[in-house]
Amino acid sequence: MDRLALDISIPLRTLRVDLELEVGRETVALVGPSGAGKTTVLRAIAGLVRPERGRISLGETAWLDTERGINRPPEERSVGYLFQDYALFPHMSVRKNVAFGGATRVDELLERFGIRHLARVRPGDVSGGERQRVALARAVARDPSVLLLDEPLSALDAHTRTAVRAELHELLREVRLPTVIVTHDFEDAAALADRIGVILDGKLLQNGTATELVRSPADPFVASLTGSVLLAGRARPGADGLTEVVLDDGTIVYSAERGSGRVGVVVHPWEITLAREAPTDSARNHLRGPVAALFPDGDRVRVRVGQLTAEITAAAARELELAPGEVVVASFKATGARLVPLAEAGS
């Protein structure tokens, strides 16, 4: 199996995309806010955008090499591209759409993606989830060497999304192709990809597995992306080798990590416990405040207390009789409070 390798630089109107990436038989997700240049990367790999300089290669084959003057047109790059809004041809039936990519195994693909009953239907008359399957079938019909998926789940409603995500995950494991997924949703990235690259303003901030990113975010943006709590404050050495952080509202929290100057305290919601009274336990940080809101999510509940978000089980929330306005104590250990450097306020 050939590796996809790229090292490209593309000027956009407000930013420059600079990216180096190698993708083997794995799925790499590029995560970042919209406008970070994620889609541009996919378009460059597919040959729809010409980078100002750089190289893109699949194994030994160069797709782009600006120094050697190589720039293969899109039709000569073996990619399966899933467009954000699927870009199905509205004037062709589902079958013809799939056959457009490659006519040899249309029936097999219609069967594989569970869309055989839609073969004669036009894409306009097909539901969102089915439309995605048609687009995927069409993308793989060409027997591509690389898969490029642009926001594969964003066009779907929450209900369809979970099911389609599972299908997509299965497909990716089955084809085992170098795959690049672009998404703004860390959860989707974590569910689908082996590795995640966080991209902001055209630059790769951090690259690692979802666990690595969650465990040790290199940057406040990465921390906020992974859904962790970020409390801003000023760090100074405290007693017992702990670092004392004076938060902007005056509260003091302790961290086992070293830090100084302006920092963000990163706490994962599942490391925060809630209680009616301040417990006498090993946790060094106890913050008292009223419950601001409760967000049930399956058998869990996310509880907002001041700036903190705690994730607890639904059963625990019932036992504590939590309701908005009830005063609780949120606790977390100093070892659960990671520090990331923040830019000085006002700079």
Q: Are 167 and 140 in contact (CB under 8 A)?
A: no
The CB-of-19 to other proteins minimum distance in angstroms stands at 19
Query: Which is nearest to 304 in space by CA: 226, 229, 231?
Result: 229
Question: Binding to other proteins by residue 12, rule CB under 8 A?
Answer: no
Number of chain positions touching other proteins (CB under 8 A): 27
d(CA 329, CA 304): 11
Question: Binding to other proteins by residue 13, rule CB under 8 A?
Answer: no
Closer residue to other proteins (CB): 88 or 274: 88
The piece of 135-143, 181-189, 211-219, 335-343 that touches other proteins (CB under 8 A) is: 135-143
Helix (H) or strand (E) run with residue 133 in it: helix 128-141
Phi, psi of 266 (to 5 degrees): -100, 125
SS3 251: coil
The CB-of-87 to other proteins minimum distance in angstroms stands at 4
> Binding residue for other proteins (CB under 8 A) from 62, 70, 87, 232?
87
Closer residue to other proteins (CB): 54 or 80: 80
Give residues with Cβ within 8 angstroms of 159, minimum separation 6.
none
Residues facing residue 266 across a β-bridge: 230, 338
Q: Which of the residues 103 through 122 are near other proteins (CB under 8 A)?
A: 122
Q: Which two tokens stand for residue 70?
A: 């190589």
State in Å, rounded, how far the first CA of the chain is from the last one.
47
The piece of 81-89, 246-254, 262-270, 303-311 that touches other proteins (CB under 8 A) is: 81-89
Query: Which is nearest to 184 in space by CA: 84, 302, 295?
Result: 84
Q: Are 212 and 218 in contact (CB under 8 A)?
A: no
Query: Which is nearest to 78 in space by CA: 46, 44, 38?
Result: 46
The CB-of-124 to other proteins minimum distance in angstroms stands at 6
Question: Binding to other proteins by residue 261, rule CB under 8 A?
Answer: no
Closer residue to other proteins (CB): 54 or 123: 123
d(CA 56, CA 77): 10
The CB-of-122 to other proteins minimum distance in angstroms stands at 8
Q: Which of the residues 137 through 156 are near other proteins (CB under 8 A)?
A: 138-139, 141-142
Question: Binding to other proteins by residue 60, rule CB under 8 A?
Answer: no
The CB-of-46 to other proteins minimum distance in angstroms stands at 5
Q: Which two tokens stand for residue 109?
A: 């693909």
The piece of 20-28, 39-47, 63-71, 207-215 that touches other proteins (CB under 8 A) is: 39-47
> Binding residue for other proteins (CB under 8 A) from 75, 277, 297, 299?
75
Q: Which of the residues 288 through 347 are near other proteins (CB under 8 A)?
A: none
> Binding residue for other proteins (CB under 8 A) from 48, 204, 247, 329?
48
Cα angle, residue 94 at apex, residues 93 and 96 outer, rounded to 5°: 65
Question: Binding to other proteins by residue 124, rule CB under 8 A?
Answer: yes
Question: Binding to other proteins by residue 55, rule CB under 8 A?
Answer: no
Q: Are 317 and 294 in contact (CB under 8 A)?
A: yes
Give residues with Cβ within 8 angstroms of 114, minimum separation 6.
133
Sites of contact with other proteins (CB under 8 A):
43, 46-48, 73-75, 77, 79-81, 83, 85, 87-91, 100-102, 122, 124, 138-139, 141-142
